[in-house]
């Protein structure tokens, strides 16, 4: 199946696409061969999603041509794309929350007689696709009741069920952990074996080396180059092409200087989600929390941050037990919670950076907001996280990486010194990742206590001084930095062995 | 100088028909402009007044401009309209306020400008002259008619107009007092209909279930009477129950003609409109006009309908040979 | 048991499970409102047993029929995440048109078509502006509410249209067998609407674009088109309500209907329609309408003053929604 | 130029630039509606120059004053992503209370406090239920709309309250210098509201929780508390409107205000309030109110009949929002 010999299934020639103020794509080429997994790489805002949406007909290109197995074609919209055998798994979860898995899978191409949906056919096709991905959840309840991981599976099922030759996946693993990712990869390999052509976007380099036959890199909407699987498809070259410079990889040979216990969680429980979770975080250390999606990590974090009701157990800061009735209690106690969902829980997208950054601490003079100080505070905070853009920009206009930096700036200004990061680098490119890692480490060295929830194992290993592992709502293990390896963590996460520290 | 005492209890009354007899012919006043602000034109009753206004304008050679609010539930808009009309500087104004108070600023303005105001029908305000029925009388007349036609008494009911509206308040009061006069009549239900046909229809069905012996129903206006009549008909009680409305709108007169409605009490809006303009012209002509020109509450039945209305249910002109 | 089911209720979701009559109408989301209805009836009966006399119940259902139709109408729109403030005056407009057609002695088919066409056009007006301009439905229909009411008055010259030939009244307000026609009509609307929502692409797409507009768009659904359809359906149902009303009153008052808007919306929401879109129950809307009618009838039955009726109705609307909440949680 | 600025206007954005009076009131979001207003005035004047008479203009502003106050009231709520359908009847309730207090000869401070307290309580009722129950504001205020109107009728016994001592009328409806008091009051409300929205934490938080509720909550803002505050403010402003009205009319009519709800909402939205929350302009709301008053006055002035006025007003509401849209894009 050496891709180069076959002739391209789909080729994009000289694609350009602009949005008001942004040239998202300029003269981009892409050839897609049957039976290959083609990685599309690039920094946040490089234009990956835009290119994919053009392929899928969700956006129409300003310039450029399509050839489908040699034939020049035009893709007039998503339905047209589906009919031409192109399906897509979008970057943002794109399911209708109120509809069941089955309904979501067939949405838009239901078989119907005189407008009446043929439900038995729908069930057949959808359940087949779900079975193939051995989906565990209930296919009849609204997908809003499924876990993030399950929702992701439903999306993939939707792409497969349409039995398209070309399947586009935009960061499918962003909200998956290693275990689910592995499952996904094996499915993708099967599809490749069946001669499907897959386009695959991810910010996790490891996956790309693991999976991709070829990798095409975009930078600032322009085609940089394509690397074939082999020696020259390696981290340094890829990063160089993406970022335009080489990043000093910091394998942090760093010894945390541990201070007093800042955060102590004791027998914490939330009915139906997690039970009896106990751990402490000391000043100066970064405690990683690994686990599969749905293990309950976010819920633990939300309870500590006062966002959800606690059913049992206690949270104490600097030895003092907190009574958490709302997030404001946690914030007052110095707990900062950087959520996994930046767009809906991290930033007010229609407000300026200044207002976002100072939201927890609006500077006032005699009861009135001191706009000058507000702008100044925001500016310095943004500078300290290496984000240099005008404080009057709207948060919604930033790329994923910069948005995360603004969230961080907000919490730096809040005066909190206990930080909970949930998926701190989800959907963030290598360049921005490096900066955020440095910031986290710097915070810890300045005496902050950090709990880092992450589904990205390399990240966990790289950053953590200590790793907690959750499984099905319980703390299944704790691994010290020294003996932390992927294998051990996965073992705890998936129930290979259990051991309480 | 004009007085503004028409709403005082001691207001001097005169029956509309008497105007010409007592004051002689109305003076011709060329080029007189009169502004007319009515409650609304969404009801034949108000359109009747408008017709009277226009007829008088034609007869007396004056110019009238008629405006009205969207509905009887738009007091604020009516004020805007009145204020704007004042901006047009008419020589005199006919006002039919939605409520007793919603036009106060406009009335004050006119008083300060010493412009004569005719207050037609319904809500009474401090005007130069009030042309309208005694609303309580509407209720009383209805009650008396029931007493007359129910010699051996019985249960009666009332469907009330919009809570708080002055016409409703007065008609309800009048009817209750009227019934009270007759020992053998018993008011067993007096329920809200909000001037609305459908609500009156529903209310009627409900109270007739509760009190099957009801012999007569008085609706505060004809729109509701039409609903009452329909309910009575649907329950197969046509003719067995006396249905009386108020206003004399075509829909009701049609009902009277085909027997679904027994009677309606009307002050003949056409003449209220007519007399409003006439009295303003007389005032502008320097005549003294009594404070209250009473529009007689006529009880219209199948028998006397043709005396008052033509076959298109328009009030006949020149009834009170002016 | 029911509680458990209720916990995973959802508009369309269950459609994919094996088919059942219950599922066609309900997914238990309506339990709260049904409870509220039963409670209300019990209270009134406790105060005056007469209230439960068989006729009175029929009577109440009869009174609820038009509100129920409007409630279902607005439910179609609410499911798409919109709102239609103009159904009330759309009803008035259609009523006047139908009244004129009837009184001028046109045959039934013409009357029906003419009235429905009027409603459909009104809806098309809303739908087109909303989809083309992208202005919030709330405001567009706020504007058209005023426009339609103006048109109704202009068309009728502000006069109540009377002289409806009795055959129409008999047909539209008479009885089919033992059951009053308006009830039959409302029931037919309920069945058809439920079928549309549960078993057709249209229904599926309305839920989809109400629940996640962008997702629906990416799934290749013509969101603009289907949004417009929802408003056309809603106004057309208002036209159906118009014919029933005209039939019942034997006259068409241009001021009709305006006062039905808020009860209809209240009924729809009490019945489980989610103003954020994606959820709504036709059966619930009907029961909501029944609840309001029961209240009005009951309070009138007990000769309660208008003032207190208003307070009572307001309180019950809020309580009904609370019971929905509690049942969901 | 303005066009350019308009393009990158946004609630937050401008406020962090250097401070200026313009910025206190406006971020150009109001350009569309201002244009609409000017156009309207020009059209009317072109048809009849008389329209521009000072009496007429004062009269229009005077008429707009109460609607403007209500429009600002509801803007506070809309900014939080809610809606308040009860301001109209909250005005009626406060009006009746204030009327009774005045007529029973209480001193001004008592009257003012009593009236504001009534409004505040009404708002607290809405705010508490909405935050505690999590029911959509639309429905809660739909219920309380009916409740307040019932209470107003009960408190007043359904009768208009008379015997307002003239000193109150003179005070509330008289003139301050050359300017009618209601206009002055509306202007003061405008300045204070704008200051609150632009220069205080409260305003900042209202925008935040309207634009991104969960974000605000996780940032430690007491969203429940601030939501409730918004409804308290809104009803309290309704109470201010009530006092102005009572003063002007020299009587308190329990049916007052209900007819002001829709114009007020229309004004707020035409003025740039986003029903999804996070955006709203006090100046815009006021101009919206002026536009509506101008229309009513102008159409009356040109002797257009009520029926056609309704159509015209509906059309203009939609056009005004279109011009907003175009200006944003
Ligand atoms: N709908 C849109 N309107 C305006 N600009 C857009 C839109 N979608 C994307 N852009 C801009 O186009 C550029 C490319 O965006 P795109 O989402 O394709 O980047 P990406 O490579 O997918 O980034 P990420 O890795 O964060 O997903 C960015 O500058 C983005 O701001
Ligand atoms: N969007 C969601 N809707 C409904 N339930 C969810 C959702 N996300 C998670 N859950 C459920 O909540 C529980 C914990 O999920 P949570 O997101 O906390 O897992 P996690 O360990 O944080 O994984 P991740 O943070 O990687 O998504 C699981 O039972 C999961 O099924
Ligand atoms: Mg992307
Ligand atoms: Mg999580």
pLDDT in tens, D308-328: 988 999 999 999 888 877 776
- How far lies D71's CA from each of B83, C145, D97, D261, in Å? 22, 19, 22, 9
Mean per-residue pLDDT, A370-383: 91
- How far lies C109's CA from each of C83, C114, C251, in Å? 31, 8, 19
Give yes or no for a contact between A385 and A439, defined as CB atoms under 8 angstroms apart.
yes
**Cα C218 to middle of ligand 1, angstroms:** 16
Which residue in this structure is represented by tokens 């541990």?
Answer: A258
- Tokens (6 digits) for D41: 């005035």
Tell whether the model's pLDDT for residue A156 goes beyond 50. yes
Give yes or no for a contact between A434 and A247, defined as CB atoms under 8 angstroms apart.
yes
A2 within some domain? no
Least confident piece of the model among C255-259, C319-323, D130-134: C255-259
Ligand 1 pocket, mutate which of A16, A40, A49, A242 (most atoms under 8 A from CB) = A49
- Per the DSSP assignment, residues forming a β-bridge with C85 are none
Residues A422 and A306 in one domain: yes
- Tokens (6 digits) for A276: 């009896």
Per-position DSSP letters for A323-379, written without gaps between them: --SSHHHHHHTTEEEE-S-IIIII--TTSBHHHHHTTTS--EETTEE-HHHHHHHHH
Residues A420 and A402 in one domain: no
Per-position DSSP letters for C111-173, written without gaps between them: HHHHHHHHHHHHHHHHHHHHHHH---HHHHHHHHHHHHHHHHHHHHTTPPB----HHHHHHHH
Confidence grade of residue C25 (pLDDT, cut at 50, 70, 90): low
Per-position DSSP letters for A140-170, written without gaps between them: TSBGGGS-HHHHHHHHHHHHHHTT-SEEEEE
Q: Give the whole-number percent of chain D exceeding pLDDT 70.
A: 91
Tell whether the model's pLDDT for residue D14 goes beyond 60. no
Which residue in this structure is represented by tokens 């209370």?
Answer: D97
Per-residue pLDDT tens digits for D149-160: 999 999 998 888
Mean per-residue pLDDT, A205-224: 90
pLDDT at A134: 81
A385 within some domain? yes
Dihedral sign (CA D163, D166, D172, D175): positive
Q: What are phi and psi of A265, to 5 degrees?
A: -110, 130
Give the CA count within 13 Å in the CB-facing half-sphere of D276: 9
A475 within some domain? yes
User: Which residues on chain D are in Cβ contact (under 8 Å) with B84?
Assistant: 56, 59, 296-297, 300-301
Ligand 1 pocket, mutate which of A20, A42, A46 (most atoms under 8 A from CB) = A46
CB-CB neighbours of A1 under 10 Å? 12
- Residue with CA at minimum distance from ligand 2 atom 29: A294
A4 within some domain? no
Residues A212 and A303 in one domain: no
Per-residue pLDDT tens digits for D203-261: 999 999 998 999 999 999 999 999 999 999 999 999 999 999 998 888 898 888 888 99
**Cα A41 to middle of ligand 3, angstroms:** 10
Chain center to CA of A43: 14
Tell whether the model's pLDDT for residue C132 goes beyond 70. yes
- Among left, alpha and beta (phi > 0; psi -120 to 50; other), residue B280 is alpha
Question: What does the alpha-carbon distance between residue D308 and residue C43 come to, in Å, rounded to a whole number?
Answer: 47
Residues in chain C, how many? 329
Residues A406 and A476 in one domain: no
Q: At what angle do helices C87-103 and C108-133 cross, to 10 degrees?
A: 150
Looking at residue A463, which CATH number applies to its domain? 3.40.50.300
Domain closes at, from A365, A396, A414: A414
Residue A427, helix vs strand vs coil = coil
Atom of ligand 1 nearest to the CA of A221: 14
CB-CB neighbours of C21 under 10 Å? 7
Confidence grade of residue A298 (pLDDT, cut at 50, 70, 90): very high
pLDDT at A245: 65
- Tokens (6 digits) for C38: 């039963």
Q: Taking all residues of chain D, what is their mean pLDDT, rounded to a whole number?
A: 88
Which is more confidently placed, C35 or C206? C206
Give yes or no for a contact between A444 and A285, defined as CB atoms under 8 angstroms apart.
yes
Tell whether the model's pLDDT for residue B55 goes beyond 70. yes
A339 within some domain? no
Give yes or no for a contact between D85 and D138, defined as CB atoms under 8 angstroms apart.
yes
Q: Among all residues of chain C, which has the CA nearest to that of B230?
A: C249
Question: What does the alpha-carbon distance between residue B296 and residue D64 come to, in Å, rounded to a whole number?
Answer: 40
Q: At what angle do helices D223-249 and D181-199 cross, to 10 degrees?
A: 170
pLDDT at C2: 25
CB-CB neighbours of B143 under 10 Å? 26
**Count of domains for chain A:** 3
Dihedral over alpha carbons B227, B229, B233, B237 (to 10 degrees) = 130
Which is more confidently placed, B220 or B24? B220
User: Which residues on chain C are in Cβ contact (under 8 Å) with B44?
Assistant: 159-160
Give the CA count within 13 Å in the CB-facing half-sphere of A326: 12
Residues A264 and A389 in one domain: no
Question: What does the alpha-carbon distance between residue D321 and residue D329 come to, in Å, rounded to a whole number?
Answer: 12
Mean per-residue pLDDT, C123-128: 97
Tell whether the model's pLDDT for residue C20 goes beyond 70. no
Atom of ligand 2 nearest to the CA of A144: 3
Per-residue pLDDT tens digits for C64-94: 999 999 999 999 999 999 999 999 999 999 9
How far is the alpha carbon of D53 from chain C, nearest alpha carbon, in Å? 29
User: Which residues on chain D are in Cβ contact (under 8 Å) with C299?
Assistant: none
- Among left, alpha and beta (phi > 0; psi -120 to 50; other), residue B109 is alpha
A114 within some domain? yes
Question: What does the alpha-carbon distance between residue B99 and residue B39 come to, in Å, rounded to a whole number?
Answer: 9
C-beta atoms of D253 and B101 within 8 A = yes
CB-CB neighbours of B131 under 10 Å? 32
Mean per-residue pLDDT, A78-92: 86
Residues A420 and A307 in one domain: yes
Domain limits for position A24: 10-243
How far is the alpha carbon of C56 from chain B, nearest alpha carbon, in Å? 7
A204 within some domain? yes
pLDDT at C27: 61
pLDDT at D287: 96
CB-CB neighbours of B313 under 10 Å? 20
Give yes or no for a contact between A67 and A11, defined as CB atoms under 8 angstroms apart.
yes
Which is more confidently placed, C167 or B56? B56
pLDDT at B11: 80
Q: Among all residues of chain D, which has the CA nearest to that of A330?
A: D220
- Tokens (6 digits) for A389: 């853009």
Per 3-state DSSP, what percentage of chain D is helix, strand, and coil (rounded to 5)? Answer: 75, 0, 20
Q: What are phi and psi of B301, to 5 degrees?
A: -125, 175
Per-position DSSP letters for B170-207, written without gaps between them: HHHHHHHHHHHHSTTEEEEEEEE-TT-HHHHHHHHHHH
Q: At what angle do helices D223-249 and D54-79 cross, to 10 degrees?
A: 160
Per-residue pLDDT tens digits for A261-296: 999 999 999 998 899 999 999 999 999 999 877 788
Domain closes at, from A191, A217, A243: A243
pLDDT at A2: 44
Beta-sheet pairing, A63-68 with A10-19: antiparallel
Residues A220 and A321 in one domain: no
**Class (C level, CATH) for D33-328:** mainly alpha
How far is the alpha carbon of C108 from chain A, nearest alpha carbon, in Å? 28
Give yes or no for a contact between B127 and D218, defined as CB atoms under 8 angstroms apart.
no
Mean per-residue pLDDT, C11-16: 50
Residues A164 and A266 in one domain: no
Ligand 2 pocket, mutate which of A291, A299, A452, A474 (most atoms under 8 A from CB) = A299
C:204-223 residues touching chain A, CB 8 A cutoff? 204, 207-208, 210-212, 214-221
Tell whether the model's pLDDT for residue C256 goes beyond 70. yes
Residues A177 and A116 in one domain: yes
Q: Which residues of C sit within 8 Å Cβ distance of B? A: 50, 53, 55-56, 59, 62-63, 66, 149, 153, 158-160, 162-163, 169, 173, 245, 248-251, 253-256, 259, 293, 296-297, 300-301, 303, 305-307, 309
Give the CA count within 13 Å in the CB-facing half-sphere of A241: 21
pLDDT at D10: 37
CB-CB neighbours of B113 under 10 Å? 9
Q: How many helices (H) and strands (E) does chain A have?
A: 16, 24
The angle at the Cα of C204, spanning C203 to C207, to the nearest 5 degrees, equals 85
Residue A313, helix vs strand vs coil = strand
* Element (DSSP H or E) covering residue D37: helix D31-47
pLDDT at B13: 85
Question: What does the alpha-carbon distance between residue A470 and residue B303 come to, in Å, rounded to a whole number?
Answer: 93
- Tokens (6 digits) for A32: 């897609």
Residue B15, helix vs strand vs coil = strand
Residues A80 and A149 in one domain: yes
Give yes or no for a contact between D141 and C317, defined as CB atoms under 8 angstroms apart.
no
Residues A326 and A358 in one domain: no
Q: Which residues of D sit within 8 Å Cβ distance of B? A: 50, 53, 55-56, 59, 62-63, 66-67, 153, 156, 158-160, 162, 173, 248-256, 258-260, 293, 296-297, 300-301, 303, 305-307, 309-310
Residues A270 and A330 in one domain: yes
DSSP class of residue A46 equals: S
């Amino acid at each position: 199946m050496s891709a180069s010999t076959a002739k391209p299934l789909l080729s994009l020639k000289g694609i350009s696409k602009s949005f008001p103020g942004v040239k998202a794509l300029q003269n981009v080429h892409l050839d897609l061969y049957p039976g290959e997994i083609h990685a599309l790489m690039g920094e946040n805002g490089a234009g990956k999603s835009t290119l994919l949406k053009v392929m899928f007909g969700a956006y129409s290109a300003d310039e450029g041509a399509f050839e489908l197995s040699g034939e020049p074609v035009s893709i007039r919209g998503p339905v047209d794309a589906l009919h031409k055998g192109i399906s897509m798994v979008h970057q943002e979860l794109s399911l209708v929350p109120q509809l069941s898995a089955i309904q979501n899978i067939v949405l838009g191409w239901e078989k119907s007689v005189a407008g009446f949906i043929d439900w038995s056919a729908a069930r057949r096709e959808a359940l087949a696709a779900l079975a193939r991905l051995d989906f565990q959840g209930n296919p009849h309840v609204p997908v809003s009741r499924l876990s993030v991981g399950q929702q992701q599976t439903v999306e993939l099922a939707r792409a497969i069920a349409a039995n398209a030759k070309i399947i586009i996946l935009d960061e499918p693993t962003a909200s998956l952990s290693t275990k689910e990712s592995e499952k996904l990869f094996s499915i993708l390999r099967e599809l490749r074996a069946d001669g499907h052509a897959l386009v695959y976007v991810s910010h996790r380099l490891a996956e790309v080396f693991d999976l991709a036959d070829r990798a095409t890199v975009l930078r600032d909407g322009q085609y940089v180059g394509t690397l074939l699987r082999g020696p020259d498809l390696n981290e340094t070259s890829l990063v160089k092409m993406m970022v335009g410079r080489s990043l000093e990889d910091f394998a942090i040979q760093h010894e945390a200087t541990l201070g007093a216990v800042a955060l102590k969680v004791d027998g914490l429980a939330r009915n139906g989600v997690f039970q009896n979770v106990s751990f402490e975080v000391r000043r100066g250390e970064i405690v990683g929390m690994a686990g599969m999606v749905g293990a309950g990590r976010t819920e633990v974090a939300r309870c500590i941050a006062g966002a959800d009701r606690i059913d049992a157990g206690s949270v104490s800061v600097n030895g003092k037990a907190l009574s958490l009735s709302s997030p404001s209690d946690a914030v007052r106690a110095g707990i900062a919670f950087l959520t996994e969902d930046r767009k809906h829980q991290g930033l007010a997208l229609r407000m300026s950076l200044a207002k976002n950054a100072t939201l927890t601490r609006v500077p006032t003079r005699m009861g009135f907001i001191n706009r000058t100080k507000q702008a100044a505070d925001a500016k310095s905070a943004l500078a300290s996280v290496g984000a240099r853009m005008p404080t009057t920009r709207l948060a919604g206009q930033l790329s994923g990486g910069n948005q995360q930096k603004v969230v961080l700036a907000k919490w730096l200004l809040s005066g909190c010194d206990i930080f909970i990061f949930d998926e701190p680098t989800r959907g963030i490119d290598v360049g921005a990742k490096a900066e955020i890692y440095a910031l986290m480490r710097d915070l810890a060295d300045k005496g902050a206590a950090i709990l880092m929830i992450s589904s990205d194992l390399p990240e966990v290993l790289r950053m953590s001084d200590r790793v907690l592992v959750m499984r099905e709502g319980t703390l299944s293990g704790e691994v010290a930095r020294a003996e932390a390896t992927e294998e051990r963590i996965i073992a705890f996460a998936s129930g290979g062995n259990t051991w309480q520290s | 100088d004009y007085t503004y005492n028409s709403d005082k209890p001691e207001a001097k009354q005169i029956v509309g028909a008497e105007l010409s007899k007592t004051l002689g012919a109305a003076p011709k006043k060329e080029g007189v402009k009169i502004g007319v602000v009515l409650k609304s034109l969404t009801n034949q009753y108000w359109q009747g007044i408008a017709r009277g206004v226009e007829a008088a304008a034609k007869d007396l050679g004056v110019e009238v401009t008629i405006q009205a609010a969207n509905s009887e539930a738009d007091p604020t808009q009516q004020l805007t309209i009145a204020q704007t009309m004042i901006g047009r500087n008419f020589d005199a104004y006919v006002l039919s306020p939605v409520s007793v108070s919603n036009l106060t600023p406009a009335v004050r303005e006119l008083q300060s400008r010493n412009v004569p105001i005719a207050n037609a029908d319904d809500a009474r305000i401090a005007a130069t002259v009030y042309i309208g029925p005694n609303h309580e009388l509407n209720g009383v007349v209805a009650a008396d008619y029931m007493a007359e036609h129910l010699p051996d008494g019985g249960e009666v009911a009332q469907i009330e107009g919009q809570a708080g509206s002055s016409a409703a308040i007065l008609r309800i009061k009048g009817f209750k007092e009227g019934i009270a006069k007759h020992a053998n009549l018993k008011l067993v239900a007096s329920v809200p209909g909000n001037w609305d046909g459908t609500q009156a229809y529903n209310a009627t069905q409900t109270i007739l279930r509760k009190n099957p012996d009801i012999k007569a129903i008085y609706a505060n206006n004809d729109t509701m009477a039409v609903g009452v009549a329909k309910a009575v008909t649907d329950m197969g009680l046509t003719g067995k129950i006396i249905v009386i409305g108020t206003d004399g709108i075509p829909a009701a007169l049609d009902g009277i003609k085909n027997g679904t409605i027994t009677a309606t009490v009307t002050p003949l809006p056409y003449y209220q409109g007519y007399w409003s303009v006439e009295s303003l012209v007389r005032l502008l002509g320097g005549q003294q006009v009594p404070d209250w020109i009473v529009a007689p509450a006529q009880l219209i039945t199948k028998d006397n309908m043709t005396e008052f209305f033509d076959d298109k249910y328009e009030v006949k002109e020149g009834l009170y040979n002016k | 048991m029911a509680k458990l089911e209720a916990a995973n209720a959802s508009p369309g979701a269950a459609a994919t499970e094996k088919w059942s009559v219950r599922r066609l109408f309900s997914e238990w989301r309506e339990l709260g409102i049904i409870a509220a209805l039963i409670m209300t009836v019990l209270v009134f009966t406790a105060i005056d047993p007469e209230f439960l006399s068989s006729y009175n119940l029929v009577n109440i259902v009869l009174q609820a029929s038009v509100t129920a139709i409007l409630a279902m109408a607005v439910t179609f729109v609410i499911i798409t995440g919109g709102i239609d403030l103009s159904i009330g005056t759309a009803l008035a407009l259609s009523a006047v048109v139908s009244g004129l057609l009837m009184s001028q002695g046109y045959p039934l088919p013409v009357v029906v078509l003419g009235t429905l066409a009027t409603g459909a056009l009104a809806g098309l007006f809303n739908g087109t502006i909303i989809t083309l301009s992208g202005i919030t439905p709330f405001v567009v229909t706020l504007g058209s509410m005023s426009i339609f009411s103006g048109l109704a008055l202009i068309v009728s010259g502000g006069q109540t249209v009377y002289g409806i030939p009795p055959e129409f009244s008999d047909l539209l307000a008479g009885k089919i067998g033992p059951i009053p026609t308006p009830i039959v009509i409302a029931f037919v609307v309920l069945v058809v609407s439920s079928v549309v929502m549960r078993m057709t692409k249209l229904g599926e797409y309305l839920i989809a674009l109400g629940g996640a507009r962008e997702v629906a768009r990416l799934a290749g659904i013509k969101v603009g088109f289907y949004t417009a359809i929802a408003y056309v359906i809603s106004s057309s149902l208002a036209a159906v309500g118009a014919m029933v009303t005209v039939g019942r009153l034997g006259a068409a008052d241009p001021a009709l209907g305006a006062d039905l808007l808020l009860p209809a919306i209240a009924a729809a929401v009490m019945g489980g329609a989610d103003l954020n879109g994606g959820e709504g129950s036709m059966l619930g809307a009907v029961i909501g309408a029944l609840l309001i009618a029961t209240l009005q009838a009951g309070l009138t039955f007990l000769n309660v003053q208008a003032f207190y009726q208003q307070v009572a109705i307001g309180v019950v609307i809020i309580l009904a929604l609370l019971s929905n909440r509690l049942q969901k949680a």
